[in-house]
């Protein structure tokens, strides 16, 4: 990451922290004066995040409208499926036309591994068996494009099973690609060096975490 990217990420971290303080404060505050101050901090954080992510302040406020209670990072659950010849299963994101590992936000009511199985089935059509955890990454540490959310990413190793049809609406294609010949990736979701690292981890039995 270059100096400009490092500065942007530091400012994003500060803005996310301000938002977390405001959100948590509003959850616990009982006095009108305190709530007023936390609401002001919240507006400042929304404006800062909007500027850094090249969005409108109203868009950012809408994204966080349902975020209540004690502030926590968002959890992104992915599944990496490799062939014995170094190919990886990728899905094409309808939102940007680029490719990623199957996955998405963790849903309430299922374990992280169960979420990963469901995401692979919906986005690629494949049934998989989860073998183990490959990585737990703090996304701001890995050079992803700016995001208003602070995201933790869990990546599981999956073993391929039966094939049916894609049932989700967030992806529109699936395929296997060699790790040295990857298509354009959706960099907000996964980076090329992360795909190659995951392949190494599944080969040597390792786990990586931040």
Distances (CA, A) of 54 to 28, 45, 63, 73, 149: 31, 14, 14, 21, 14
Which pLDDT score is estimated for 65?
A: 81
User: How many whole angstroms separate alpha carbon 136 and alpha carbon 76?
Assistant: 10
Which pLDDT score is estimated for 98?
A: 97
User: How many whole angstroms separate alpha carbon 121 and alpha carbon 149?
Assistant: 26
CATH fold of the domain at 74-209:
Nucleoside Triphosphate Pyrophosphohydrolase (3.90.79)
Least confident piece of the model among 1-10, 96-105, 134-143, 145-154: 1-10
The domain locations on the chain are: 3-63, 74-209
187-191 average pLDDT score: 96
State the pTM of this model.
0.78
Which pLDDT score is estimated for 4?
A: 54
Q: Which of 47-56, 163-172, 174-183 has the highest mean pLDDT?
A: 174-183
What would the two tokens of residue 70 be? 């004690």
Q: Which tens digits make up the pLDDT trace of 109-126?
A: 999 999 999 999 999 999
Q: Is the pLDDT of residue 1 over 60?
A: no
What crossing angle do the helices spanning 3-28 and 32-52 adopt, rounded to 10°? 160
Q: Which tens digits make up the pLDDT trace of 37-63?
A: 989 998 998 999 888 888 899 888 888
């Amino acid at each position: 990451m270059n100096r400009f990217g490092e500065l942007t990420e530091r400012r994003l971290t500060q803005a996310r922290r301000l938002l977390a303080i405001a959100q948590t404060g509003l959850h616990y505050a009982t006095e009108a004066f305190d709530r007023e101050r936390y609401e002001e901090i919240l507006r400042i954080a929304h404006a800062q995040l909007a500027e850094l992510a090249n969005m409108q302040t109203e868009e950012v406020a809408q994204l966080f409208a349902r975020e209540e209670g004690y502030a926590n990072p968002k959890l992104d659950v992915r599944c990496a499926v490799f062939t014995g010849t170094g190919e990886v299963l990728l899905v094409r994101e309808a939102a940007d036309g680029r490719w990623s590992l199957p996955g998405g936000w963790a849903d309430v009511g299922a374990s992280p591994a169960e979420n990963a199985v469901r995401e692979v089935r919906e986005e690629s059509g494949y049934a998989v068996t989860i073998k183990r955890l490959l990585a737990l990454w703090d996304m701001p540490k890995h050079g992803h494009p700016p995001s208003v959310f602070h995201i933790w990413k869990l990546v599981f190793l999956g073993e391929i099973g039966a094939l049916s049809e894609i049932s989700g609406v967030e992806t529109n294609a699936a395929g296997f690609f060699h790790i040295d010949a990857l298509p354009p990736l959706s960099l907000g979701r996964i980076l090329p060096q992360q795909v190659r690292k995951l392949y190494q981890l599944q080969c040597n039995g390792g786990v990586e975490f931040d």
